[in-house]
């Protein structure tokens, strides 16, 4: 492209960028982006307060961790009290069923100042034990990796790209303003490139800022020495790869939904198809997994996140464990796919016609 065409692209980006950031149709995107930030912030506020509360309880109800871990299911409540003393919190209730039968339920809580133990009793015997340990930095990093893979990429970024990129053309058709662009002496491919760059810049800023804020909120509760020590390890997960994956996700999904805005009168239909395909990628055979954008994005993530342990067993059996693609291959596939979709969209944009009576 010659300098005048680059100047036209930058002019379109300047015109589109503020409209893209503050479009009334896209304000809900900020909710998707900020939800994990709020969750990590709430956790960083709650966790230290909970640890301080347990430490205060332990001062008046001192317990030894080895005694707490010695309790096993089947022990009676009298044995538990004999070994541990009275709990710091206790609740009991009865549940009546037909024919007048009654079942006794009880809950005893103990702590050693760090871990919190909850013993659930049924008819005077321990049935279930819950243990809550202090949060650790590696544990929270793994939680972040899980949220990033299963919520942020599959839902937040995907829906954000739907809201921003489909409206770059379809939104102006609905507002009856696209013809102002088409009446100018600007090639359609230049117009498409300018709109894509504006949408990419908007989504990059929104979602990379969200990732950075998530890390700030995640690390907030931990001492500086613990954070520095963790990231001093060569195998530690770092922020930069997640930012890079986020940018690639915005580019790849953005190209798809920009094309959908050109081809479909109702882009929600292709958006739903892409959402279902990307969500089901985990359960598809290895060959089909490699046809999804999410497979290559996850291959570039620095940490592998295991599926939720509470997932039903029949569902876990359906998960197809496919080796991640090598990082250079994943990066090349994402860039090639994005470029190919944009080139196709450029050819389709040449045939773009406006008929507001039908749109």
Write out the DSSP string of 286-348: HHHHTTSHHHHHHHT-SSPPPPPTTS-HHHHHT----PPPPHHHHHHHHHHHHHHHHHHHHHH
Tokens of 106: 């009880």
Of 181, 178, 179, 171, which is closest to residue 11 (Cα–Cα)?
181
Question: Given this model, what pLDDT does residue 148 score?
Answer: 93
Tokens of 41: 């912030």
Q: Report the alpha-carbon distance of residue 332 to residue 329 in Å, rounded.
A: 5
Cα dist. 28→9, 21, 206 in Å? Answer: 28, 11, 12
Gyration radius (Cα) of the chain, Å: 27
Each residue's pLDDT, cut to its tens digit, for the chain (359 residues) gives 678 877 888 887 887 777 777 766 667 888 889 999 999 999 999 999 999 999 999 988 888 888 899 999 999 989 999 999 899 999 988 776 655 677 889 999 999 999 999 999 998 899 999 999 998 888 888 899 989 988 999 899 999 999 888 888 776 776 676 667 676 777 888 888 888 999 999 999 999 999 999 999 999 888 888 888 777 776 566 788 999 999 999 999 999 999 988 888 777 888 888 888 888 887 778 788 888 899 999 999 988 765 555 545 454 445 556 778 899 999 999 999 999 999 998 888 877 766 655 55
Cα dist. 52→68, 80, 177 in Å? Answer: 20, 25, 58
Tokens of 86: 């009275």
CA 154 distance to own-chain centroid: 7
Question: Given this model, what pLDDT does residue 313 score?
Answer: 47
Inter-helix orientation angle 28-60/158-174, to 10°: 150
Question: Given this model, what pLDDT does residue 9 score?
Answer: 81
Contact yes or no for 274/231 (Cβ under 8 A): no
Q: Is 110 helix (H, G, I), strand (E, B) or coil?
A: strand
Contact yes or no for 6/194 (Cβ under 8 A): no
Question: Given this model, what pLDDT does residue 211 score?
Answer: 95
The domains found in the chain, sorted by start residue, are 3-47+136-349 (no CATH), 59-132 (3.30.1450.10)
Contact yes or no for 103/97 (Cβ under 8 A): yes
H or E element: which one contains 96?
A: strand 89-96
Of 251, 245, 263, which is closest to residue 166 (Cα–Cα)?
263
Cα dist. 335→176, 201, 248, 258, 338 in Å? Answer: 33, 16, 8, 16, 5
Cα dist. 60→49, 114, 208 in Å? Answer: 18, 14, 46
H or E element: which one contains 116?
A: strand 116-122
Question: Given this model, what pLDDT does residue 125 score?
Answer: 92
Question: Given this model, what pLDDT does residue 21 score?
Answer: 76
Question: Given this model, what pLDDT does residue 14 score?
Answer: 82
Question: Given this model, what pLDDT does residue 315 score?
Answer: 47
Question: Given this model, what pLDDT does residue 359 score?
Answer: 52
């Amino acid at each position: 492209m010659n300098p005048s065409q680059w100047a036209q692209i930058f002019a379109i980006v300047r015109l589109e960028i503020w409209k893209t950031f503050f479009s009334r149709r896209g304000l809900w995107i900020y909710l998707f982006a900020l939800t994990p930030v709020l969750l990590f912030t709430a956790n960083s506020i709650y966790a230290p307060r909970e640890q301080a509360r347990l430490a205060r309880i332990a001062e008046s109800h001192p317990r030894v961790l080895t005694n707490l871990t010695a309790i096993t299911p089947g022990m009676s409540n009298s044995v538990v009290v004999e070994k541990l003393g009275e709990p710091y919190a206790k609740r009991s209730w009865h549940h009546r069923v037909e024919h007048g039968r009654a079942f006794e339920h009880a809950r005893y809580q103990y702590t050693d100042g760090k871990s919190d133990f909850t013993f659930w009793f049924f008819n005077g015997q321990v049935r279930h034990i819950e243990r809550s340990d202090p949060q650790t930095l590696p544990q929270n990093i793994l939680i972040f990796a899980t949220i990033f893979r299963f919520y942020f990429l599959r839902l937040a970024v995907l829906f954000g790209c739907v809201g921003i990129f489909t409206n770059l053309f379809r939104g102006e058709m609905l507002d009856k303003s696209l013809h102002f662009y088409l009446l100018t002496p600007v090639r359609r491919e230049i117009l498409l490139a300018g709109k894509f760059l504006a949408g990419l810049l908007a989504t990059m800023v929104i979602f990379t800022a969200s990732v950075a804020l998530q890390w700030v909120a995640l690390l907030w509760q931990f001492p500086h020495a613990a954070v520095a020590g963790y990231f001093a390890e060569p195998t530690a997960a770092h922020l930069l790869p997640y930012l890079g994956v986020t940018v690639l996700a915005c580019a790849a999904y953005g190209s798809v939904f920009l094309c959908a805005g050109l081809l479909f009168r109702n882009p929600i239909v292709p958006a739903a198809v892409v959402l279902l395909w990307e969500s089901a990628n985990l359960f598809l055979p290895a060959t089909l997994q490699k046809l999804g954008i999410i497979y290559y994005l996850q291959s570039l993530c620095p940490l592998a996140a295991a599926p939720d342990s509470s997932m039903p067993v029949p569902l876990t059996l359906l998960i197809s464990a496919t080796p991640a693609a090598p990082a250079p291959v994943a990066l090349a596939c994402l860039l090639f796919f994005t470029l190919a979709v944009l080139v196709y969209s450029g050819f389709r944009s040449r045939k773009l016609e406006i008929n507001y009576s039908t749109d």
